[in-house]
Structure 1
Amino acid sequence: MPTYPYTLVTGKLKSLLQKIRSSGIPPKLTAAHLKTLGFTSSNDAGMINVIKFIGLTDGSGIPTPLWSEYRGRDHRAVLGKAIRQGYADLFAIYPDANARSVADLTHVFSTSSTAGEVVVKQTVQTFKALVDEADFSGQSGSGDTATALTTGPLHAAPAAASPIAAHGSPSAKHPAVHIDIQIHISPESSAEQIDKMFESMAKHLYGANNPAG
């Protein structure tokens, strides 16, 4: 698992993110550039690693296309995407990591590193501060696939016996079966993906009883 970043000035992350959206794009995000934005404390430089971790800059601090994308109208959704990508291992454990409790996050961060209690606490607070500025709605949370399909459990429950079946009709040997199928489709799914999904369902659910298709 990665070494999760943290900053001692989590309360300033919101201000830095606002500055990223409102000020010009620098050639490189450095401590010197932070000072031009008003972040002059020696502890402020720790926010650079946080910005790198979520992919707004590359490893050397050069702004990525995601930085430019974050400056647009949908900045909260863009930040949500960036957080989900940067903390991919965390979201693999908890697909709803952005909504998880401090206790849950503390458990993951503490068991994935040798950091002490204080650092783990700051790591959790850093993640929470980022999440507060992001929007995760409309994201599938599936992690690896654009389409999340849930067809189970298939609830098979015999229907109430009809009057005929109750009096010993041969139909009593074949009770009615009611099946509920729940399908959750990500808004990001393409038309082709949706078509293939229903094609597969038709094959597996009806193919045995309708060989002719």
Structure 2
Amino acid sequence: MANGDISYANIPDANWWTIRDLLKKKVPSVISASYISSALNIGEPSANNLLGPLRKLGLIDESFKPTELAYDWRDDEKYPEVCKKIFEAQYPEEVRDLFHTADADPARLTSWFMNKARCGEGTAKKYTRLYLLLIKADPSGATNTAVKKEVKPSQQSTNKPLQKKPIQSVEKNPSRNTEIKQAPPHDLTQPSLHSRLFNASPELHINIQLHISPESSADQIDKIFESMAKHLKGFSR
């Protein structure tokens, strides 16, 4: 019992559908802990925890043999009627009157189980899931559960369209734009600066200072200028 004198059956959805599918293929003579352990690929201690709820729901008897209800449970046409029988046998009229549709509020239903069974929220949520599964009484629930398992969060994220980054507009502000002026084409008829610098003939300027003694005679001065004219003749153009 769940921390009190009232408890309810608890079978996870996946185990519910897996065991039902196994009975569709072949009903074993005994549904033991070893059978559940091998069928669900779980340890025997965990398998033992499922035997009690199966007995409580009336699917196996005290000898772990499948009941007539188990045979009807595996039949899709009889499945809704089986769920109705289990639902009415397992839960008191109060909760069935308060939460009688498949769209019942899970949070409120969980709160009800917590108060009546004096259990924790985790256990109450497990009770709620089986309660709603029985109300739905939908034999195609196994298919819906398998589809949910196949869609992983990583796959969902890859299907999202890529978000394009917004293209930033360039503000046209004449005051900030730098105008690049193109240099005028070179006039081929004019000599370039390089040719003017390196092809032009150098010009030579000579400054001559004469210091003539006041004591020199006129003949001596004439001879000096005559000699200068003779030696500097080669520099004239």
| TM-score, normalisation: structure 2 | 0.46
Say if 2:24 and 2:75, in contact at 8 Å, map to a contact too: yes
Say if 2:27 and 2:66, in contact at 8 Å, map to a contact too: no
Say if 1:56 and 1:64, in contact at 8 Å, map to a contact too: yes
Once the two structures are TM-superposed, the CA of residue 60 in structure 1 deviates from its matched residue by: 4.7
* Structure 1: tracts of 5 or more residues without a match: 136-213
1:1-213 matched pairs, under 5 angstroms: 2-7=6-11, 9-27=12-30, 29-41=31-43, 42-89=45-92, 92-94=96-98, 96=100, 98-131=102-135, 134=138
Partner in structure 1 of residue 214 of structure 2: none
- For 1:80, give the aligned amino acid: C
Mapped to 2, the partners of 1:39 and 1:75 lie a distance apart of: 28
In our comparison, the structure showing a higher alpha carbon Rg is 2
Q: Percent identity?
A: 15
Once the two structures are TM-superposed, the CA of residue 116 in structure 1 deviates from its matched residue by: 1.4
Q: 1:100 to 1:114 in 2, by over 3 A?
A: same
Once the two structures are TM-superposed, the CA of residue 48 in structure 1 deviates from its matched residue by: 2.4
Q: 1:88 to 1:116 in 2, by over 3 A?
A: closer
Mapped to 2, the partners of 1:85 and 1:78 lie a distance apart of: 11
Say if 1:14 and 1:133, in contact at 8 Å, map to a contact too: no
- For 2:66, give the aligned amino acid: P
Once the two structures are TM-superposed, the CA of residue 124 in structure 1 deviates from its matched residue by: 1.7
Mapped to 2, the partners of 1:19 and 1:60 lie a distance apart of: 19
- For 2:39, give the aligned amino acid: L
Give the CA RMSD over aligned residues.
2.9
- For 2:33, give the aligned amino acid: A
Partner in structure 2 of residue 160 of structure 1: none
Q: 1:23 to 1:36 in 2, by over 3 A?
A: farther
Mapped to 2, the partners of 1:73 and 1:5 lie a distance apart of: 22
Say if 1:79 and 1:134, in contact at 8 Å, map to a contact too: no
Mapped to 2, the partners of 1:78 and 1:107 lie a distance apart of: 27
* Structure 2: tracts of 5 or more residues without a match: 140-237
| Residues 52-61 or 102-111, more deviating | 52-61
| TM-score, normalisation: structure 1 | 0.50
